[in-house]
């Protein structure tokens, strides 16, 4: 029983550090977004340097029925790009690649 009490005290002492690591100083989850990618993308959209993700998702939905699963940003052929995971009604997952500046669909993987 004494060991359980010691473990509980140690876990309680570690909890604030775990919360800080998980959420960062502004308490937003930093899992998968440690570099502030979403904030940078929003700023680029506001400045007119990047197409909004909603525009890209609408273009995908027009050509392929299904639902949006996830989006990441990166580079494709040296240009900024959105990588959109899309699931079709039959469960197939397709990765659409969209030029982040124009919003045009420039490729796909899977499907």
Domain layout of the chain by residue ranges? 50-109
pLDDT digits (tens, 9 = 90+) for 18-54: 444 444 444 444 444 455 677 877 888 888 889 999 9
Alpha-helical segments (H) within 28-68 = 37-46, 53-63
Please provide the size of the chain in residues.
Answer: 111
> Residue 99's CB: how many other CB atoms inside 10 A?
19
- For residue 35, the model assigns a pLDDT of 56
CATH 3.20.20.70 assigned to domain 50-109? The reply is: no
Q: What is the pLDDT of residues 83-106, one digit of tens each?
A: 999 999 999 999 999 999 999 999
Calpha distance 95→111 (Å, rounded): 8
Asked if 109 contacts 85 with a C-beta cutoff of 8 angstroms, the reply is no
């Amino acid at each position: 029983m004494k060991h359980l009490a010691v473990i509980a005290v140690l876990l309680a002492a570690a909890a604030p550090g775990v919360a800080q690591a998980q959420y960062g100083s502004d308490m937003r989850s930093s899992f998968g977004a440690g570099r502030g990618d979403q904030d940078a993308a929003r700023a680029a959209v506001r400045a007119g340097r990047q197409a909004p993700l909603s525009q890209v998702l609408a273009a995908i939905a027009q050509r392929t029925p299904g639902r949006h699963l996830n989006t990441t940003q990166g580079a494709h052929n040296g240009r900024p790009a959105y990588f959109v995971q899309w699931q079709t009604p039959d469960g197939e997952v397709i990765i659409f690649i969209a030029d982040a500046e124009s919003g045009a669909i420039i490729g796909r993987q899977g499907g």
